[in-house]
Chains A and B, each alone.
Chain A
Amino acid sequence: MNTPIARYLGFTGFAILVFMLLLAILGPFIVPYDPNELIAPAFQPPSWSYLLGTNDIGQDIFSELIMSARVSLLVGVVSALIATLFGVIAGLVAGYFGGWAETILMRLVDVKLTLPFLPLMIVVAVFLGPGLITQILVIALVIWAPMARELRSQVLTARRRGFVEAAEAIGAGGRYILRRHLLPNVTPLIIPQFVRAANTGILMETSLSFLGLGDPTVKSWGMMLFYANSRSAFLTDAWLWWLLPPGICITLSVLSFSLLGYALEERVRPRLRTSWRFGASERSANKVRPLKREPQEQDPESPEPLLSVQQLSVEYVTANGAIRAVDSVSFSVRRGEVLGIVGESGSGKTTMAAALMQLLKPPGRLTGGRMLFAGNDLASLDAAELKRLRNNRIALIPQAAMNALNPVYTVQKQLVEAILAHQKIRRSEARIRANHLLQLVGITPDRARAYPHELSGGMRQRVVIAIALANNPSLVIADEPTTGLDVIVQAEILELLTDLQSRLELAMIFISHDLSVVLSVADRIAIMLEGKIVDQSSVNSGVFHPNHPYSQRLQAALPRLKSKHTIPFS
């Protein structure tokens, strides 16, 4: 899929290219005269009989131009084909086999890339003598190297992919894997590479020919420029119709390849797309039904829930229309209560958490519903109010939290920054408070000056929890806080979270795909399926009462650690 702009550009490029190719192919049938024949007086200006006039010896320039298209495009495309072939083979062999083949090929590429290409091309062309074949080979020689390098790096990533390793484990040899798995994997990259190479090829053919290193027996646009320049076109008005048309033709062909190359490139590199489509801020779109704000801070004893979510819906805008990731979800969390949200991957849990924190990124969009936190509608807050609220009243423990720390600061400094962002206290006081928080999550003060990489995954997770608690939040949203941790560490972290939750009387939304984990911490449980909450139930000492068939299935699949039956051993 392309963005509209890329599609438009790509189509323009394609149209110009087709036109040029048609000219080249049909050339002999549409030219009015034999371009080598002397048919008219020299330096005739354009007229109906000589569309682009004649040159210094009386040849028809229009016919010459059209016949030249054949050579220019041929040289460009053929040299690009050869270069692509070499580049692909070199890239695949170097990337897959490695070892000495890679060393030799990649040093060759390095040498090639450090040499300036124009002098190199001239030296080689002079050495081999002029001629069409020489020209093609020289150009191919100059342009294969960057391709080889690019493809090698792609192959290096592809060969670590699971399906390649799976084929290896089955017993496949190198040739099979290259042909069956790696080549198809890099093919989408080869096509734009080829288009770019053809682009360069045409330009290089022009340069070589213009320098007089082309084949004197055939005509190309570069040769036309060479003759026009060396045969004094600039002395008369003839440059207008002798030099400009081949120049325009070269520009158009190069442009067509560039546009096409861009569109194709964008197709294989989706990241190029995002800046186009999602550049505009969509924050304004997030504001749905703003509510009049009431003064906050309620009586903590009030029966009102701390957070009340009503009919919340979030959509993702894709090329194929909107996808509803969260569909009219309603729930509430009281003070000091743990609500567990369970759902399988893709059920919308994480999107919902992002919506609660007002952290939805385009293409995600809030499309309806209200989120009342202590009486305030979260969606109606402005940036400053949100900043005050985030991590102050509501804190998030994100997924893969162990990567959420900045590697260049000590954990103490990161904690101090988090505290100072919301509290107007002295740095020394904040440091004391940071150490206190670290102790709270079970990290001794002597580790306070450690950098994140000096801590284990579990320790880093503790630090992230400490940061989340830095400003005494009343609601903590923990999104898969233990996923990716070692089983033993996972248990410790859960222990810590439940302990902190009850000691600090936090309200917590605990999101996980793992029902058994959620059951061990939650007071109430909500089961999500395809963006909807299908079941809500209270949890009593780790047991809940599933009503929906899906949650019944989930419960039936809970792991059981019991002996199958007793086996007599003697």
Chain B
Amino acid sequence: MSVDVISSQGEPILQLKEIRKSFDRHGARLERSMVLKDVECFIHRAEVVGLIGGSGTGKSTLARLIMGLERQDCGSILFEGRDLEQVTARERQAMRRFMQMVFQDPYDSLAQGLTVEEIVAEPLIIHRIHRYDRKKRRELVEDALAEVALAPSSLFINRYPHELSGGQRQRVALARALILRPRLIIADEPTSMLDVSLRLELIDLMKRLRERHGIAYLYITHDLALAHRFCDRLLVLSEGRIVEQGLANEVIERPRHPYTRALMQAAMRFMPAIQSSNPVELTAK
């Protein structure tokens, strides 16, 4: 699916309008720090949007707001055109089914005492799907594990998280996010805790899932190279504001905002190997 086709699709799956969020600083009410300042953005169906920025720019806060783990001070979050704050709790719960999240730390986001089967089946239990049909649930778990290339599933289904490597854990987390057939996955730095050799693997896996199921992603990262490889469109967040957005290639090749340029330069610093082996392909100006 080419990029311009995606961006011309009708109604966005997710839309953020004038999102503001501040936190108390050291419990002092008067001194609040603004983390997000009037953030506006949208994601189309099956589109991969990268949210990039350094640490402390508010990327993770934005993800937590979308997932309902925090509440914005003002502004609205629309999922498939409906404001998450305007619907009843029951409706919101039903909408949650279609947006899932993958967290940064696969060592923390999977409960220690549960088996892979229990972890991956958790969304089914929470949303009361196949509530009394353990066999059906197990089938779905096996499917989800196969999707994330943890096969044969019999090898993994009864294991505990501590018996898995970091990359396998993150794939279990991805399987948990996939089992409800979501239309949107928020991935908050899913690769940053993984060892380098596993990062590309996970990104390519997420890419395949998008092609197969038309899942849209909000991919949060500070790694420009991975964002470039994975995303259709990029949003650059700096000090709580989106300072630049555009098609991934355009942003990478022609960064306009000084902050984006600084990010680019920082990323280039680590790519001497590429410079010499693929001199032609390095196109940043």
A56 within 8 A of partner (CB): no
* Residues of chain A with a CB closer than 8 A to B270's CB: 491, 514, 516-517, 519-520, 559
Q: Is the interface of B mostly helix, strand, loop or mixed?
A: helix
Give Cα A166–Cα B126 distance, bound, in whole angstroms. Answer: 12
Residue-wise, chain A 135-170 has the 8 Å CB interface mask toward B (1 for contact) of 000000000000000000000000001110111111
B interface residue count range (under 10 / 10 to 19 / 20 to 34 / 35 or more): 35 or more
Assess the B123–A162 pair: CB atoms within 8 A.
Answer: no
Q: Which of A35-43, A428-436, A550-558 contacts B (4 or more CB under 8 A)?
A: A550-558
| A175: min CB distance to chain B, Å | 11
Most chain B C-beta atoms within 10 Å of own C-beta, residue among A490, A559, A569? A559
Give Cα A166–Cα B101 distance, bound, in whole angstroms. Answer: 7
Assess the B109–A163 pair: CB atoms within 8 A.
Answer: yes
User: Which of B103, B166, B253, B272 is in CB contact (< 8 Å) with A165?
Assistant: B103
A541 within 8 A of partner (CB): yes
B164 within 8 A of partner (CB): no
**Residues in A453-498 with C-beta less than 8 Å from chain B:** 485-492, 494-495
User: Which of A494, A559, A563 is in CB contact (< 8 Å) with B252?
Assistant: A563
Assess the A163–B110 pair: CB atoms within 8 A.
Answer: yes
B68 within 8 A of partner (CB): yes
Assuming the contacts A559-B225, A561-B268, A563-B283, asked whether A162 and B197 have C-beta atoms less than 8 A apart, the reply is no
* Residues of chain B with a CB closer than 8 A to A543's CB: 272-273, 276-277
User: Which of A163, A488, A517, A519 is in CB contact (< 8 Å) with B263?
Assistant: A488
| A72: min CB distance to chain B, Å | 36
Assess the A557–B200 pair: CB atoms within 8 A.
Answer: yes
**Residues in A482-526 with C-beta less than 8 Å from chain B:** 485-492, 494-495, 513-517, 519-520
Give Cα A108–Cα B271 distance, bound, in whole angstroms. Answer: 60
Give Cα A485–Cα B192 distance, bound, in whole angstroms. Answer: 13
* Residues of chain B with a CB closer than 8 A to A486's CB: 54-56, 222
Q: Which 10 A-B pairs have the closest CB atoms?
A: A542-B272, A559-B225, A162-B108, A562-B281, A162-B109, A171-B96, A491-B266, A486-B54, A344-B195, A516-B270
Would you list 18 pairs from A and B whose C-beta atoms are within 8 A, ordered by A residue?
A166-B103, A170-B122, A171-B123, A486-B56, A513-B196, A519-B273, A541-B276, A543-B272, A554-B197, A557-B200, A558-B271, A559-B225, A559-B226, A560-B274, A561-B282, A562-B228, A562-B283, A567-B3
> Could you tell me which B residues sit within 8 Å of A by CB distance?
2-4, 54-56, 67-69, 93, 96-97, 100-101, 103, 105, 108-113, 122-123, 126-127, 166, 173, 176, 180, 195-201, 222-226, 228-229, 247, 249, 252-253, 262-263, 265-278, 281-284
| Known contacts A345-B195, A542-B275, A558-B196; 4 further A-B pairs (Cβ under 8 A) | A166-B176, A487-B224, A553-B197, A564-B228
